A and B are shown apart, each in its own frame.
Chain A
């Protein structure tokens, strides 16, 4: 890039992340955050503590990811036979019974996406901290995909909640949510929060400082 792009940061201005109003930074300091005069959203030069927050949330999500996959997510009791399924055993069950599209959806939504989100966020954080200038565009796109796709991991939780609500036939058949459901939804929510707390503008900051 030959010409230096004009950013709000360099022109002592600040842009609102909600309504994208560009306003003067003025007397705003880190301790006294300003509020967007148009929409009332809080204004940040860069998201506050973005990297450390994201790291903290990612670590939390990683910790919850283990019990979410090890512990059973559903307890199905059918005529007294209690069958406890983890996410993986459910996927295997669907594969074995020939319902591989459902199996694929659960596999992707519940196992791959949270895992990929964690990996992507960790990569982005490391690349930002190392002030990498490598392909900032693609990395930004990666971030956007991560943010958009993250909510779909909740599909599994929705399925479980619907099943728990629907199948209440007493001794004949009953489904209960297992402890993994709680951990799994925690993983999904925390990774979403992590993605939100990450500030993609940091990707480009490195670019600018490098170009200077």
Chain B
């Protein structure tokens, strides 16, 4: 409602001035803006504080592929946090990765929580983590069982095979060698893949390898306290007294190795094995069966001949049934007798034969063994495989064997032996050949030849028929002579013989030992002997001292 400026004329002098209030005294609505900003800022700050999860430190061997501010920490592919900082540890042995996790990760951290770096991995049987080729590596996390929270962790070098949450059980296998087993090697139950090797490590004593395997449910229900585990790695090529053996389980075990388990045959299942039960890992299925017999006895056997072809591990059989194996073979030189001995140490499992008896020591076997050896139990070296020449030790009862007994001595009793079947035959043949060799075959042949030639000469001469005629005449004369002898001479001879007998009877009476004549003759003969001796002494003396002939025997 304003009028034109100046239309009202100049201002009257007595007009009051308006009261001017200082604008500073009034609180302006504009202050709502910073208030709002403060509320927004405060809310942001509150959220960042409350949503901030735990800060953790993970120690890794290397920080390959990890980047501060970039690398994420994931669980089940859900991002739970981020690497904030990567630094070297104070001992410069490993890297410390500091990470901040989300609030929701708080309850997941415990002592058993595992972290590992997910990278693209190409293994023998699988390809993993290809997506990380594009997205970069990330740190995966396995929370494990809940426990008190910790903030320092040791990162794994390789991803764990089994993450928590998969039902099943862990077991420990102890083996002497690693063979071709590796982390991830399968575990088979009746040729079904039932689990994996999770980890392996040298035992604290450094003598054995401890495999940690995981058997998934429901197969873990088939692991009993007496279950046996054996290695089915690669292919098993063995050349033994039993011949050539080539075995594989599956194609993948050729590359990866593997473990199989089952109950020993004909033995009842025991209790279900507890988590982390320790088992022995046998080298192969045969070994797992052999070692079933816990009680073993050791014996010594001495062989005289060569033991070529006999090696430690060679079977010891009784009538063809394995009862043990050769443990050691030595060559011992005995300085006293200057002879070589070959003691063969064998290990026999008596429980294979004497089942159902509780045996504790070798002494328990003493009466049985003594009786058996008395009955003819003998060891002998036999050829097991003619192709390879592998030998084995065979026990059998030989009732006609020369008597022998067990030498019960320390440390091992000594069992009697027989020469091996082949050995015996060979030695006999050698004896015959030696005798044959000693025959003067050439001489005999030469003589024989000369004889034959003479005969030939003789038979070919014209004098032979004449000689035969003369011989005939002579024989006729002889016949006549014999006839006359029988008729004329025989009675005379009989008479003479009667007289001879009489003379002999009288002669015996004279010559009898207690007869006078013989005694007299004996004394006379003794005298003659004495005189002869003194005569010899005299002549010898004279020979050395001819002067005695004149001067007589000296004083000396």
Residues of A within 8 A of B (CB): 23-24, 26-27, 29-30, 37, 48-53, 56-57, 59-60, 63-64, 66-67, 79-81, 83-84, 190, 197
Please determine whether B2 and A79 come into contact, CB atoms closer than 8 angstroms: no
Please determine whether B37 and A49 come into contact, CB atoms closer than 8 angstroms: no
Please determine whether B28 and A64 come into contact, CB atoms closer than 8 angstroms: no
Which residue of the partner chain, among B18, B27, B37, B134, contacts A59 with CB atoms under 8 Å?
A: B37
Please determine whether A48 and B135 come into contact, CB atoms closer than 8 angstroms: no
Q: How far is the CB of A2 from chain B (nearest CB, A)?
A: 28
> B2-32 CB contact bits vs A (8 Å, 1 = yes)?
1001100000000000101101101110110
For residue B38, which residue of chain A has the nearest CB?
Answer: A63
Q: Which residues of B contact A81 (CB under 8 A)?
A: 70, 134-136
- Which 3 pairs show the lowest CB-CB distances between chains A and B? A80-B135, A60-B37, A59-B34
Q: Which residues of A contact B134 (CB under 8 A)?
A: 79-81
Please determine whether A30 and B33 come into contact, CB atoms closer than 8 angstroms: no
**B124-158: which residues lie under 8 A (CB-CB) from chain A?**
131, 134-136
Beyond A49-B30, A197-B30, 5 additional pairs, beta carbon < 8 A? A49-B26, A49-B28, A79-B134, A81-B134, A190-B33
For chains A and B in complex, what number of residue pairs have CB atoms within 8 angstroms?
A: 66
Please determine whether B21 and A57 come into contact, CB atoms closer than 8 angstroms: no
Please determine whether A56 and B131 come into contact, CB atoms closer than 8 angstroms: no
Q: Does B471 contact A (CB under 8 A)?
A: no
What is the number of residues of chain B that contact chain A, defined by CB distance less than 8 Å? 27
Q: How far is the CB of B51 from chain A (nearest CB, A)?
A: 14
Cα distance, A60 to B34, chains bound together (Å) = 4
Please determine whether B41 and A63 come into contact, CB atoms closer than 8 angstroms: yes
Can you list 6 A-B contacts (CB < 8 A)? A24-B6, A26-B2, A53-B28, A57-B33, A59-B37, A80-B136
Given A24-B5, A30-B21, A64-B37, check contact A57 B135 (CB 8 Å): no
Cα distance, A51 to B135, chains bound together (Å) = 53
Q: Does B430 contact A (CB under 8 A)?
A: no
Q: Which residues of B contact A51 (CB under 8 A)?
A: 23-24
Please determine whether A49 and B136 come into contact, CB atoms closer than 8 angstroms: no
Please determine whether A60 and B33 come into contact, CB atoms closer than 8 angstroms: yes
For residue A34, which residue of chain B has the nearest CB?
Answer: B2
Q: Which residues of A contact B27 (CB under 8 A)?
A: 52
Q: Does B44 contact A (CB under 8 A)?
A: yes
Please determine whether B41 and A67 come into contact, CB atoms closer than 8 angstroms: yes
Cα distance, A197 to B70, chains bound together (Å) = 43
